[in-house]
Amino acid sequence: MPVRKLLRFLSSMFGKRKRVRLGIYGPPNTGKTTLANRIITDFVGGAGWHISDHPHETRHIQQMEEVLLESQSGKKLKIDLFDMPGISTHTELHTDSFEELIGLGMDDNAARERLDEATNGITQAIKLMKVMDSAIVVLDSTRSPYTKVNALLFGILKANGVKTIVAANKSDLEDSKPHLLRTALGDMPVIEISARDGDNMDRLYEAITRHLH
């Protein structure tokens, strides 16, 4: 579906609902789909969506409606959950990611097709910020937060008035540096988690129900 038609459809559809539209955003391979699957496992059941270590595994927007989150304090929030493709710059897509895919054994045509799909997915994900109520930005806490992609991502979310919290993922790793994220992001809520192991998910659910309603 073309982006404009998708936006019109979602706007009209969501206008009739009393649910929070929650998008999971972030750069590639930060654990967005792992987090989405953790939420699905905790509140819906089932296996969730496919993940892999290849860059841009999620190239299309994935959606699950009517997920009822509940925090340990008893706060509840009904959401429509959107797992977004990893946000990259054009240069990162067609140089770094291309070389990485080739290094993983993918041939040129398959790699270019994958990245073309990723480009379209990124465009739709950014367009859909116009109809998102809130967002979780998943960042790899072992990496520097000072990147062009992060600046772009947070800038667009702010411009669209999207309520945002940050999941500092991979906090289980020895080189995790969540304090750098807090320094870089100022007053924005930053929650350290391991989406893979489920560490601190109770704190994240509390933050979601408290800040993103």
In this predicted model, which residue has the larger pLDDT, 206 or 119? 206
Residue 205 identity: Y
Distances (CA, A) of 23 to 66, 130, 138, 167: 14, 11, 10, 13
CA distances from 40 to 49, 71, 166 (A): 9, 14, 19
Q: Which residue has the tokens 């706060």?
A: 75
Model confidence, pTM: 0.83
Mean pLDDT (the chain) is: 86
> How many CB atoms neighbour CB 11 within 10 A?
11
What would the pLDDT profile of 143-181 be if each residue is shown by its tens digit?
999 999 999 999 999 999 999 999 999 999 999 999 999
Spatial separation of the C-alpha atoms in residues 98 and 163, rounded to whole Å: 33
CATH topology of domain 13-53+62-88+127-211: Rossmann fold (3.40.50)
Question: CA distances (Å), 21 to each of 31, 37, 168, 196, in order?
Answer: 20, 17, 21, 23
Angle at 133 between CA 127 and CA 139, to 5 degrees: 75
Nearest-angstrom CA–CA distance, 139 and 207:
16
Domain boundaries in the chain?
A: 13-53+62-88+127-211
Q: Above pLDDT 70, what percent of the chain? A: 82
